[in-house]
Amino acid sequence: KNEVEQSPQNLTAQEGEFITINCSYSVGISALHWLQQHPGGGIVSLFMLSSGKKKHGRLIATINIQEKHSSLHITASHPRDSAVYICAAYSGGGADGLTFGKGTHLIIQP
Partner 1 sequence: EAGVTQFPSHSVIEKGQTVTLRCDPISGHDNLYWYRRVMGKEIKFLLHFVKESKQDESGMPNNRFLAERTGGTYSTLKVQPAELEDSGVYFCASSQDPPQLLRGRGRTDTQYFGPGTRLTVL
Q: Is 104 in the site for partner 1 (CB under 8 A)?
A: no
Of 40 and 110, which has the nearer Cβ to partner 1? Answer: 40
Of 96 and 110, which has the nearer Cβ to partner 1? Answer: 96
Q: Which of positions 76-95 make contact with partner 1 (CB under 8 A)?
A: 86, 88, 90-91, 94-95
Neighbouring residues of 10: CB distance < 8 A, sequence distance ≥ 6 = 104, 105, 107
Of 57 and 97, which has the nearer Cβ to partner 1? Answer: 97
Q: Which of positions 38-57 make contact with partner 1 (CB under 8 A)?
A: 41-45, 48, 50
Q: Is 30 in the site for partner 1 (CB under 8 A)?
A: yes
Shortest distance, position 38 Cβ to partner 1, whole Å = 10
Q: What distances in angstroms separate CA 89 from CA 57, 59, 80, 82, one per listed residue?
A: 23, 19, 26, 23
Which residues would be at the binding site for partner 1 (CB under 8 A)? 4, 30-31, 33, 35, 41-45, 48, 50, 86, 88, 90-91, 94-103
